[in-house]
A and B are shown apart, each in its own frame.
Chain A
Amino acid sequence: MKDTPLSNCERDFLLKAIEEKKTYDYRKMKITFGTDFGCCFVDLGKTRVMAQVSCELVTPKESRPNEGIMFFNIELSPMASPAQSELSVKLNRQLERCLRNSKCIDTESLCVVSGEKVWQIRVDVHMLNHDGNLMDAASIAAITALCHFRRPDYSPEERDPIPLSIYHMPISVSFSFFQQGTYLLVDPCEREERVMDGLLMIAMNKHREICSIQSSGGIMLLKEQVMRCSKIASVKVSEITELISKALENDKKARVPSPLVPVPGVGQVGQGLHNTWGLEEEEDEEEEENDSSGDVVEISDSEEEEVVILHPEKPDKTPTNTGSSSYQRGAATSKKKQKK
């Protein structure tokens, strides 16, 4: 499938609109988590990205028998954008440099038996919707998923899964330049990316250390421009890091650990204890559903879409609204009896 080409009048309009745009703000960012550990969704405006972390025991590389292996895979699926390009190769390489070369994960702690068995941590990032700035969304999703992930801990006494040891959180910030460097935009959307002259990507952590910097598109930048961009990036990165920590904390609270663990070493996630009080079952189920489906942290005040719940048993139905999401309660007795 080929993408529709950009018309000249659209291009002129976009360039004019960029001249009017004064702010260096990110679009509305939302971080949610899935049911299992290591699954993270990031919404940046309309751009949507999902990251999943998984682990496996493998033999280590011969040159580094004491270290675990990190493997990154970015999938620019046809869902995100019908036109396939070499963007996926570029994103893969950038994410690898940002996360692997900066040594943000302690790979020596991933070693189980030196020279024989180490953990291979695999990060799969899926692009669900491409509305610009996939790199930033992917880096946020990847590092958040790594912070969220719990790996099994095999020892004489079996324990709960433990998190990875992460030294710092590198986050990439993208700047796009227009009109030969006259205009600068942070977090370009897809239309703006089409008309930009060049892109500068700076990956930084909250300690103001630059982890990776890349300039592409052939734009020639002055030293002052690069310094200005790095200052803007440090501000943005601290905001985003705060948002990530808040999201992780909210998710931790939502996953109430159960005091009764049926199998040692396995923790229960999301579902509370099976209760036998018939009256409270309905409310508990709603709460469980809301909690275990992940918490949402937003940085702006725009209204959420309303979720309408249909209750066929109850006579009063909530009024219809424009929200396109709907839930139905069937004879859903099987959900309550599930134990993870």
Chain B
Amino acid sequence: MMEVRGSSNVSLREFGSEQSLLSRPDGSASFIQGDTSVLAAAYGPAEVKVSKEIYDRATLEVLIQPKVGLPSIRERAQEQCVRETCEASLLLSLHPRSSLTLILQLIHDDGSLLSCFLNAACVALMDAGLPMSCLFCGVTCAIDADGHIITDPTAAQEKESRALMTFAIDSTQRRVMMSSTRGSFSVHELQQCIAVSQKASEKIFQFYRDSVRRRYSKTL
């Protein structure tokens, strides 16, 4: 883990989540970061079409539904980021020739959308009970015009920023699983942002832990 230096702000907006709120999917969760809100549903393992089946692994499909209109290229790009993160953490070889489907519905976008998608996806997969080798969380950093690093920016802050980065961090070794960036920044700034995101991910993983603990405290 890199050291956090300078005037970086490791504060996240207030976040919360609710699990098992839909009756049809095998796992469902809503994740709210400030005003950004996302609903995730996971189905699986289920039957897969012969054209899509993989002989030794489960086929993971991620669908992102925007609020207005039909899914477009932007949603496809976000789907790819989420899918690659999930494939890296799910134990797909336990369910060969099956399908796992993850559907993410945008409820409200006020910045840090991709990290909200990632967090909701992780909680929904946990709720569905799908086996994973590690948990993951998403953290978004923005570098504003003065060079300050803002974590979990709002839509207004994202618009003013010089660069915007989203990292998916894993829970076991706090390493970066996926990164998606926009804008220009130096190598030093990138390393600082990664350090800041790793620090911020602690809070999110602690939250996952607390919410699972309180959920199963009565049964275990």
Contact = CB atoms under 8 A, between A and B. Distances in A.
> Do A and B actually bind?
yes
Interface of A: 1-2, 34-36, 39, 46, 48, 50, 52, 54, 73, 75, 77-82, 122, 124, 126, 128-131, 285, 289, 308, 310, 320, 322, 324-335, 338
Interface stretch (B88-96, B128-136, B172-180, B209-217): B209-217
B210 A326 contact: yes
Contacts of B156: 338
B214 A289 contact: no
Given A1-B46, A50-B107, A333 B69 contact: no
Contacts of B154: 334, 338
Contacts, number: 129
5 contacts: A35-B110, A77-B65, A82-B24, A124-B67, A332-B11
The 6 lowest CB-CB distance pairs between A and B, nearest first, are: A327-B16, A325-B18, A332-B14, A79-B103, A129-B22, A331-B11
Contacts of B107: 34, 39, 50
Contacts of B25: 79, 129
A324 B18 contact: yes
A331 B41 CA distance: 28
B24 A130 contact: yes
Contact of B13 (A46, A124, A335): A335
Given A35-B108, A79-B24, A326-B18, 4 more contacts: A34-B37, A39-B67, A77-B63, A79-B39
A326 B16 contact: yes
B23 A289 contact: no
B19 interface: yes
Among B19, B34, B67, residue most surrounded by chain A Cβ atoms (within 10 Å): B67
The interface size bin for chain B is 35 or more
A329 B207 CA distance: 10
Interface string B98-111: 01010101011010
Given A2-B47, A34-B107, A48-B22, A75 B65 contact: yes
B169 to A, nearest CB: 16
Nearest to B211: A326
A82 B10 CA distance: 40
A82 B103 CA distance: 10
Nearest to A328: B207
Contacts of B218: 320, 322
A326 to B, nearest CB: 5
B68 interface: yes
Contacts of B41: 79
A126 B46 CA distance: 23
B68 A39 contact: no
A89 B168 CA distance: 38
B93 to A, nearest CB: 21
Interface string B76-90: 000000000000000
